[in-house]
């Protein structure tokens, strides 16, 4: 992706069912030093490539596959935290 110093990484959250699609759904991982958020269920904190980041679930978007750079890690072990954040975001939308 671009070179926003405050958003060093994104996490791809789309299902493998859409592997052939030309776009990926991603959630920005904001540097904790730049985040104006407190880690919570909706904005969990992780460490990626030695950097502390917060999942900015409210900024979920889709990007062309060509915009993604080299993979630097995986949040597979923290997948439930990512899913909980997204579930909280979407299920609470319908009150």
Q: Which residues of the chain have pLDDT under 70?
A: 1-3, 92-95
- Provide the strand spans (E) within the chain: 9-12, 23-31, 45-48, 51-55, 61-64
Q: Does residue 57 contact residue 27 with C-beta atoms inside 8 Å?
A: yes
Note the pLDDT of residue 82.
96
As a whole number of angstroms, the distance between CA 39 and CA 19 comes to 31
d(CA 2, CA 68): 8
pLDDT at 4: 77
Residue 38 confidence (pLDDT): 82
Maximum distance among all Cα pairs of the chain, rounded to whole angstroms: 38
The pLDDT, as a whole number, for residue 61 is 95
The verdict on domain 9-94 having CATH code 3.40.1010.20 is no
User: What letter does residue 41 receive in the DSSP assignment?
Assistant: S
pLDDT at position 65, please?
94
> What are the sequence ranges of the domains in the chain?
9-94
């Amino acid at each position: 992706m671009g070179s926003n110093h405050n958003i060093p990484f994104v996490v791809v959250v789309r299902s493998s069912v859409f592997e052939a699609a030309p776009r990926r759904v991603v959630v920005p991982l904001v540097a904790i030093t730049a985040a104006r958020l407190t880690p919570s269920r909706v904005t969990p904190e992780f460490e990626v490539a030695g950097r502390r980041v917060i999942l900015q679930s409210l900024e979920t978007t889709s990007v062309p596959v060509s915009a993604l750079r080299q993979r630097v890690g995986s949040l597979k072990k923290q997948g439930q935290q990512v899913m909980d954040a997204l579930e909280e975001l979407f299920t609470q939308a319908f009150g």
